[in-house]
Amino acid sequence: MADAGGKYSESLLSKIIRFFLRDEEGSFPVFLHSLRLEDQLYDLTIIRFFVSFLIIAGSLFAKYILGIYQLNHHALILLAIILFIANIVNFVIVFPVRKSKEKTTSYRFLLSLVLHLSIATDFIFLVIALWLVGGVYSPFQTFFIFHVIIASVLFSPLIAFIYTIYGYTLFFLLAIGSWKQWFPTVFPVGAVPSVEPPSGTYTITVVVVQGLLFFLTASLTTHLMYFLREGQRQIVRINKDLERLCDQRKGFLQIALHNLRAPVSAISMHLQNLLYGYGGELNDTQKSWVQRSLTRIDELVAFLHDLENLSVMENADLLREAKEFDINTTIEKIIEENQDLLLSKNHEVKVELPERKIIVIGIQRLLREAIMNLLTNAIKYTPRNGKIIIRLYKQASYARVEVEDNGIGISPGDIPKLFREFVRLKQQKIEGIDTTGSGLGLFIVRQVVESHGGKVFVKSQLGKGSIFGFDLPVVDKR
């Protein structure tokens, strides 16, 4: 109806329908809240298979082990077989759709229909099972509550309450029918407390109590599911915001790297020209200033290099470039290319490589960067005339790379922090050791290794040295 302002006001009935039928996005689904119908039906099908076997096993156990008389286990087994066959139909329908990436509207409607039919027939199966095992005397009547919970979890609140009324109606008819003896009721001796038909007082009491349980269970479960879905919606929104911020950070990082690389290179070149005397002879003080500035520029270049590696690692499509390569040769080239750095601190270097080549699959330049980071760290944190060992060996289905040094080591409390982003440990000042850095080196090592399906590790003792390394899956070339 229209209000005074000419706008149509929403009726109370429409508001109620909107409350009960709205989904996570505020739209009106025909059947369910969830978009993963195939998963719901698949899980329900697995449960029903289990229930079929449970009915058969339970009836045989009750008759032949517990010795319960007048139990029609043939009828229970037939009921389980019918449930099993119905389940096979469900499985044939849902399994191909679950594996398919494209879900058409007609398939979704079919899955919704099958799911509703499954829930509706489950209540009927339960009523028949209760009828065969004592009716209102049956200890299994509480399984109705289980079915109410399933309906409340799977469906919108209104649909869940409709199923609750439907299930309660079936139970009510079973109870009244047993009381009025509309149909013969089986009372297996030993499974139920009485072999006489229930009295009116007992029947009314059971009907009222079960009714309260049905509707309280449906109410509490639907409210709980509402709050869970509300939390899920908030998590989805937060994840979308985080993804947007992450994309913005990546874009900013790329722009910053692009805009900083050229001026930093120009500054470094001009400072080197000054140091070489191309702009006139410098005195000792001026040379010292220029040299210190070049050192800081080198640190900035190294930091930009780390940021560039970090930016590369955040590319989700990166591992499509992965290829098989020989990691033995990669380590040999790293040692050969870093001889000057090793000799600058007079380190003794030992390389332990297996005779047989070890093949891994990945991006060679990134794994090379990871090994380089471990090696430069060992060189950096080992005093002059130290000893560094680089070893490679195969352990089960993994290739293990280790870089061992006899440097300053790491305290046990600091080891868990090592592979985090922008972490710099407070090291004691030791002559000949420069502890400056970006705090990204080991974080990048972990990112590279884990993106290749590997795992990093460290063993260290303060003052006695460290072993940094990682494991990578190998390609079996037998």
How far is 449 from 334, CA to CA, in rounded Å?
17
Radius of gyration of the chain (CA): 36
Report helix, strand or coil for 405: strand
Characterise 403 by phi-psi region: left (phi > 0), alpha (psi -120 to 50), beta (else): beta
Q: What is the pTM of this model?
A: 0.52
DSSP string, 17-48: HHHHH--TTS---SSBS-S-HHHHHHHHHHHH
Task: Decide: 156 and 20 in contact? Cβ < 8 Å.
Answer: yes
Domain boundaries along the sequence of the chain: 12-243, 318-473
pLDDT at residue 316 in the model: 52
Which among 472, 470, 471, 468 is positioned nearest to 374, based on CA atoms? 468
pLDDT at residue 1 in the model: 42
pLDDT tens per residue across all 478 residues of the chain: 444 444 444 455 454 444 444 444 443 333 344 446 777 777 788 888 888 888 888 888 887 887 777 788 888 889 889 988 988 888 887 777 666 666 666 777 777 888 888 889 999 999 998 888 888 888 888 888 888 888 888 888 888 899 999 999 999 999 998 888 888 877 887 777 777 888 888 889 989 998 999 999 888 888 888 888 788 888 888 988 888 887 777 777 777 776 777 788 888 888 888 888 887 888 888 888 888 888 778 767 777 776 676 666 665 556 677 788 999 999 998 888 888 777 888 888 899 999 888 999 888 888 888 898 899 888 888 888 889 999 999 988 899 999 999 888 888 888 888 887 666 666 555 555 555 555 677 888 888 888 888 999 999 888 888 999 999 998 865 5
How far is 107 from 109, CA to CA, in rounded Å?
5
How far is 136 from 185, CA to CA, in rounded Å?
10
pLDDT at residue 469 in the model: 93
pLDDT at residue 90 in the model: 82
Characterise 391 by phi-psi region: left (phi > 0), alpha (psi -120 to 50), beta (else): beta
How far is 276 from 282, CA to CA, in rounded Å?
9
Report helix, strand or coil for 359: strand
pLDDT at residue 198 in the model: 84
pLDDT at residue 456 in the model: 92
pLDDT in tens, 328-358: 999 998 888 888 777 888 888 899 999 888 9
Architecture of the 318-473 domain: 2-Layer Sandwich (3.30)
